[in-house]
Every structure is written in structure tokens, then in C-alpha cells.
Amino acid sequence: MVVTYEPHPQSVVAPGDAPLLLTTLEEKVKLLEKLGVEETVVMNFDQDLRNSPPEDFIKDILVDKLNVGELVVGNDHAFGRNRSGGIGLLKQAGFQYGFELEVVPALFLNGVRISSSHIRKMMKTGEFIETIAMLGHPYPLTGQVIPGKGRGKNLDYPTINLKIDPRKLLPVDGVYSARVKLEDKNYVGMLYIGPKPTFGEVDRSVEIHVFGLERDVVGSQAEAWVENWVREPKSFSDARHLREQIKSDEKVIKHMLQSDLS
């Protein structure tokens, strides 16, 4: 069992400083299921929970409600009012209530400590390969398929447009390879994040040309797993040059994902 919070605690403690999410709740639950977690408990993080003394959290939640037998936490874990509870208190509580405590040491990659804050920093600076390495999985982007303007179709590369949770951290603008799940079917495709400078549009969007998709899926929920950065956005003089670039992107991405296309 995994216990997590919704919304992100920082959005309650200091709303103005709340970080954008690496995983939405839906994405987090799916990732945990893939890891073999049998049950995920989602606690509503509100002012009452924020102000709960750590001793009460242990007794009322961990012991009385969850009947904890073994507790696993990170080495920098803190909880309760003003983050006043820590490893020392959990060890004492383990002796008192009869549960075991396992403290997971910090993980490092190439000498750098893996943390959500460092991963966010790399995402924002475009270090996508390093981001994926630290996450340990492709970057998830989940959203509802919404109507677009049909420009992709006119270029012979129709796309699905995704409505992404505004709290979600998007990778830097560019073209990426991605695996896509739509209506319980798996696909691969090329994903674009950013504005459309060729058409004078400055708003960022997320759209995917899904290889082999030949039906209308507007209204469906799409699950994309972003794997590789291909190139940065470019502005083209006309649609013909843009189409030529997309065709080149297609070759690159199909080569990247050839095992899934054979």
C-alpha cells in the first residue's frame, strides 16, 4: 500500500510557491499499479491535516486506520504540523505501537542526488534525457482529446490535441517521440509541444500524430509516455516546408521506435 496526498501539500501551505506536477494523481496511480502496488490511499491534504500534530497522525491514521505493520519512508521524510515529525519520532512510535520502520537512503545518479526539485529544474532547462534517467520511466502526459483546427490533417499529418491539467509541468517546447494509449489500444507517434510560429500562433499546445490511428477519438482520454527529444520548434515560410520537416521527423521517430512498429 502507498499513501499519498492530493492536492500537493505546498499548494495548501504556500499556494504561491506550489511547484508544477511531475505526475498528476491519475498518472501517479497508474505508475504505482505498474510497479505492483496493490492499493493507493489518497489523503485530502487540507488545513486540518496540515496542522495535525505528528503524534496524532501516527496514532489516528497509521495505527488506527491503516493498521501499519511495516512503514517505509525516505531518509528526509518529515510530516505533521510544521514538519515537526521525522525519522526519530517514527522509530519511537514503532517501538510503542509494534510496527517496523525501513528508511530508504537517498538515490544518486552520476553523483547527483535524485529529487523532484532537481528533476523539475532539468525539465525546465531541456535536459530531457537526464530527466528520464532520474525518473526511471518515460514522462507521462495524460489528457482529454479536444478538437483542433485541422491544420495537421491539411498537412497529411492529422493530430490529436490534448487538454493537459494546468498544474502539470510540460517539457520544453519541441518535437518528441512518444508511446500513446487510446481507448485501450497502444500506439506510437510524434508529439509536439509549443506554439505554431508558422501560423502566427503563440499559445502552447500539446498534440500528437499517432501512427496508424484512422478514427475520430475526440472526447477520449489519451495517455502519452514521452521518450525522446527530437528537435526544437522552427518557423517555416510556408506549409510545404513544414510538411517536409514533419516527414523528416517521422523518419527519425519511426527509427527510434522501430521495435514497436514491426
Question: How confident is the model over 181-201, as pLDDT tens digits?
Answer: 999 999 999 999 998 877 777
When pLDDT is cut at 50, 70 and 90, the band that residue 259 belongs to is: low
Alpha-carbon separation of residue 43 from 3, 25, 62, 209 (angstroms): 7, 11, 12, 37
Which residue type does 32 have? Answer: L
Question: Residues 2-50: pLDDT tens digits?
Answer: 999 999 999 999 988 999 999 999 999 999 999 999 999 999 999 999 9
Predicted TM-score (pTM) of the model is: 0.91
Tell me what pLDDT residue 232 has: 93
**How confident is the model over 100-121, as a mean pLDDT?**
96
Tell me what pLDDT residue 115 has: 96
The domain segmentation of the chain, as residue ranges, is 2-106, 107-136, 138-261
Measured distance between the N- and C-terminal CA atoms of the chain, rounded to whole angstroms:
38
Superfamily (CATH H level) for 138-261: Riboflavin kinase-like (2.40.30.30)
Predicted confidence (pLDDT) at residue 236 exceeds the cutoff of 80:
yes
Residue 55 region, left (φ>0) first, then alpha (ψ -120 to 50), else beta? alpha
> How much of the chain, in percent, has pLDDT values that exceed 70?
98
Q: How many CA atoms lie less than 13 Å away from 233 in the CB half-sphere?
A: 20
218, 159, 155, 217: which is closest to 185 by C-alpha? 217
98, 73, 95: which is closest to 86 by C-alpha? 73
**How confident is the model over 80-87, as a mean pLDDT?**
95
Average pLDDT value for the chain: 94
Predicted confidence (pLDDT) at residue 80 exceeds the cutoff of 90:
yes
Predicted confidence (pLDDT) at residue 79 exceeds the cutoff of 70:
yes
**Between β-strands 185-196 and 174-182, what pairing exists: parallel, antiparallel or unpaired?**
antiparallel
Helix (DSSP H) and strand (DSSP E) numbers for the chain: 10, 12
What CATH number has the domain spanning 2-106?
3.40.50.620
**Between β-strands 201-210 and 139-146, what pairing exists: parallel, antiparallel or unpaired?**
unpaired
